[in-house]
Amino acid sequence: MKSKSILSQSASVLNHFNSKNQPCFEHFEVFELFDTTEENSILKLLSNMVKRGLLMRLKKGLYYIIPYEQESEAFMPDWHLIAEHLTKGTKHYIGYYSALQIHNLITQPSLKEQIVVAKQMRPSTLKIKNTSFQFIYHARQTLTMKTKSLKVEEYSLKMLNPKRCNVKIKWGYDRFEKYLLPFNY
């Protein structure tokens, strides 16, 4: 295990965020903590803390506190929980294969976290250690259905067998009409 030395400035950063029960933080929060105009010195402090195994850099400007008893090379926080920090307040949810993993509906472990976001994010794929985080953007449109407004998400789908489709959308003059069809098995 790598020796973790904690200096006074590092200790004050760790104490501040641990007292707030906030394991993940952005670099500008540390600027406010030290009340200094020297951005370069704060960025060096954070960089040294990453090298010493006290912090884990998730992406530019976003850090996660590694518990002192954990080995920094092997530590990875819960993927589903850091998704919130990676999306920076954008509306999101854990989707697709990752959602199935949360509910124990898959037998194979997933090495990719799929996060559906309301706003397009760049880069769309982010790799942290051996885990890929994929940000999937779905555009929303408001469509009119008979006289009511309905939010519909656009999906890119491959229809393997069109005869098994259970929804038929019929184009009208200025509206959509939706008809449910029985499954044909």
CA dihedral 59, 62, 66, 71 (to 10 degrees): 20
In b/e form, how buried is each residue of 132-163, taking b as 16+ CB within 10 angstroms? ebbbbeeeeeeeeeeeeeeeeeeeeeeeeeee
Kindly give the parts of the chain with pLDDT less than 50. Answer: 142-185
State the pLDDT at residue 145: 41
Q: What is the pLDDT of residues 173-182, one digit of tens each?
A: 333 334 333 4
What's the DSSP call for residue 163? G
Nearest alpha carbon to residue 138 among 90, 80, 98, 85: 90
State if pTM tops 0.75.
no
Under 8 Å between Cβ of 150 and 169: no
Domain ranges of the chain: 8-65, 79-137, 140-180
| Residue pLDDT, tens place only, 101-112 | 989 899 888 889
CATH fold of 8-65, please?
Arc Repressor Mutant, subunit A (1.10.10)
The residues near 178 (Cβ < 8 Å, ≥ 6 apart) are 145, 167, 168, 169, 170
Q: How far apart are CA 179 and CA 38, in angstroms?
A: 63
